[in-house]
Amino acid sequence: MLDLGKYIIFSLLSIFFSISSFSETRKFNIGKIATKQEVAGWDIDIRPDGLGAPKGSGDALSGEEVYAERCASCHGDFGEGIDRWPELVGGSGTLSSHDPVKTTGSYWPYASTIYDYVYRSMPFGEAQSLTYDETYKIVAYLLNMNDIIDEDFILSNENIGKIKMPNRNGFLLPDPRPDVKNLNGNPCMKNCNTPTKIIGKARDIDVTPEDEKS
């Protein structure tokens, strides 16, 4: 965290540069130079390598309490998810099954993403109300519930970029599409060999919403 003196110096420098040396290189001269303080307030993202992680720390033991208070009403005491709210814990070994369970433990490739997401948008409807330490505690609790760190491991800005997530290598790049057979713009037009037997009807599944009858 910078002290106020430095902010003022930065701001003055920014103003100085905006009206002097840089002005020639701007094509339109529209907009204003952002101060470091303005950027610091909005620049909340964290990258997988930990870049952007704010100073703070927390472990799972202290995280349990914060989690119970701020998260459990939707996600359940053990991250199991209540009603249709997402489950956060478990799912290990299910990704190739008929019913994959994608949780922070089984699917998410980076611990930084959990911190970034929890801080920026959780609790649902109370975005950016958690402190940095509270966020580290919650993330530590989730990682511990997923057997990724011990309960007394102190998660912090120093080590969040080094946590090895189980599904870290579960993602494929680059996009291989188009991945279907290349028909070069000339698909079959007549007497094509394609199955035309009806094997399923949405009507029989019967989950389509119906308009209220007047």
> Among residue numbers 47 through 86, which ones bind other proteins (CB under 8 A)?
47-49, 74, 83-86
Taking CB under 8 A as the rule, does residue 24 contact other proteins? no
Q: Which region, judged by CB under 8 A, interacts with other proteins, from 64-72, 102-110, 135-143, 147-155?
A: 102-110
CA atoms within 13 A on the CB side of 118: 26
Q: Which region, judged by CB under 8 A, interacts with other proteins, from 56-64, 111-119, 131-139, 148-156?
A: 111-119
Q: Which region, judged by CB under 8 A, interacts with other proteins, from 60-68, 94-102, 132-140, 156-164?
A: 94-102
Give the DSSP per-residue string, 75-93: H-TTS--STTSPP-S--TT
Write the DSSP symbol of residue 4: H
Tell me whether residue 62 or residue 160 sits nearer to other proteins (CB atom). 160
Taking CB under 8 A as the rule, does residue 117 contact other proteins? yes
Give, as ranges, the residues between 184 and 213 that touch other proteins (CB under 8 A). 184-192, 194-203, 205, 207-209, 211
The residues near 95 (Cβ < 8 Å, ≥ 6 apart) are: 102, 106, 107, 167, 170
Tell me whether residue 27 or residue 162 sits nearer to other proteins (CB atom). 27
The residues near 186 (Cβ < 8 Å, ≥ 6 apart) are: none
Six token digits for residue 76: 């359940």
Q: Do 70 and 62 form a contact (C-beta atoms < 8 A)?
A: no
- Distance of closest approach, residue 90 Cβ to other proteins, in angstroms: 14
Q: Do 15 and 33 form a contact (C-beta atoms < 8 A)?
A: yes
Among 67, 108, 136, 141, binds other proteins (CB under 8 A): 108
